[in-house]
Amino acid sequence: MKYNIGVVIWLTGLPCSGKTTLAIEIEKYFKYKNKSIQRLDGDIVRKTICNDLGFSKEDRDKNIQRIVYIAQMLSENGVNVVSAFVSPYREMREFAKSICAEVVEIYVKCDIEICRQRDIKGMYKKADMGEIDNFTGVQDPFEKPLNAEIIVNTGKESIEESLDKIVNYLSDKYEI
Amino acid sequence: MKYNIGVVIWLTGLPCSGKTTLAIEIEKYFKYKNKSIQRLDGDIVRKTICNDLGFSKEDRDKNIQRIVYIAQMLSENGVNVVSAFVSPYREMREFAKSICAEVVEIYVKCDIEICRQRDIKGMYKKADMGEIDNFTGVQDPFEKPLNAEIIVNTGKESIEESLDKIVNYLSDKYEI
């Protein structure tokens, strides 16, 4: 590490684009390299710190806000963070950059049709049928990053290829 | 440190008993010793991760729950934590011990009359007059710890004396 603070690796992308899969691989890589890492994703925070929140715009924003503050605390104490949330709104991703000192924004790009094929929980279908509201990609917009530091195309690349891109970038910039 | 995880130093006591003052001194001590430390207190979390919460029993419990989960993440990543919350309910303090691997419960004991004298914001008076509800020590109970690892009596000891007790305990047990 060039810095005494942790890096916040912020994955953003459509539901089922592969964010959590990649976050788990990134987590494994950091652990293998004996570096600190805290993974933050829906499975973790929605059972704990955000267990009172739903998926309305207001609740999504609150969810991201809390995650950003947690990422700030962790990274200020030298802990690296990888976060995997749809985080569809540019404003909230900019908020993360304004609060945390070192954020690497990664756009997990994937064609929505491929996301739908991967959707083992059938969430896209439920959203189509109106059983889920505020679903990103169906009722709600996904605002693509304008200046992501890394773009991985999980519809075309293998997980290993996407991970390589990320790891190469991080090791060049932060000596991780 | 004997362990590769952080210690969660949990201060509990009446409003104005001196928890935050002590937490700041503990924070300074850890920084002086070049050890990681994250202070968690009302001033910090109620502006950020808990900015939606009030002081009802339900909200207080949510507040403590989130703090416990944050303390867990920090300590699992090797960051020491000092938390300064009234945390009046035994159940929630036990919850902290059930979630975080290493909790040191410190009872910041102080006669309520001395707490009232120290109360520069006049919160006790407001509670007496019914302007504040659910105020611990006035309308709401404070459940004293049954097995606190350290008791500091801030009504009788100087800050230095209380800090010494805490630091001696921590350095014996955790080599901090």
- Enter the pTM of the model: 0.91
pLDDT tens digits, residue range B114-147? 999 999 899 999 999 999 988 999 999 999 999 9
Residue B3 in domain: no
Per-residue tokens: B2? 């004997």
A95, A21 Cβ separation under 8 angstroms: no
pLDDT average, residue stretch A12-35 = 96
For chain A, the residues whose C-beta falls within 8 A of a C-beta of chain B are: 36, 38, 48-49, 52, 62, 65-66, 69-70, 73-74, 76-79
Q: Is A87 a catalytic residue?
A: yes
Q: What does the pLDDT look like over B152-172, one tens digit per residue?
A: 999 999 999 999 999 999 999
CATH of the domain at B114: 3.40.50.300
In a domain, A3, yes or no: no
Amino acid at B51: N
* Nearest-CB residue to A77 (from B36, B62, B69): B36
In this structure, what token pair is assigned to residue B126? 């407001």
Is residue B46, in this structure, part of any structural domain at all? yes
Condensed to tens digits (0 to 9), the pLDDT of residues A103-161 reads 999 999 999 999 999 998 999 999 999 999 889 999 999 999 999 999 999 999 999 99
B137: in domain: yes
Find the domain containing B71 and state its range. 8-174
pLDDT of B1 reads 40
User: Is residue B75 included in any domain, yes or no?
Assistant: yes
Query: Would the ipTM clear 0.85, i.e. be above it?
Result: yes
d(CA B164, CA B158): 10
CA B34 to each of CA A3, B67, B82: distance values in angstroms, whole numbers, following the listed order = 16, 24, 15
E strands along chain B, which residues? 8-12, 38-41, 81-84, 103-109, 150-153
> How many angstroms separate the CA atoms of B70 and B86, rounded?
17
Count up the domains in chain B and report the number: 1
Whether pLDDT at A41 is above 50: yes
Q: Which of A49, A58, A63 to mutate to test the interface with B (most CBs of B within 10 A)?
A: A49
Residue A158 region, left (φ>0) first, then alpha (ψ -120 to 50), else beta? beta
Any domain includes A2: no
Q: Is residue B84 part of a domain?
A: yes
Q: What single DSSP character describes residue B118?
A: H
Using an 8 Å Cβ cutoff, are B47 and B37 in contact? no
Do the Cβ atoms of A9 and A166 come closer than 8 Å? yes
Residue B1 located in a structural domain: no
Q: How confident is the model at residue B2 (pLDDT cuts 50, 70, 90)?
A: very low
Provide the pLDDT for residue B56. Answer: 86
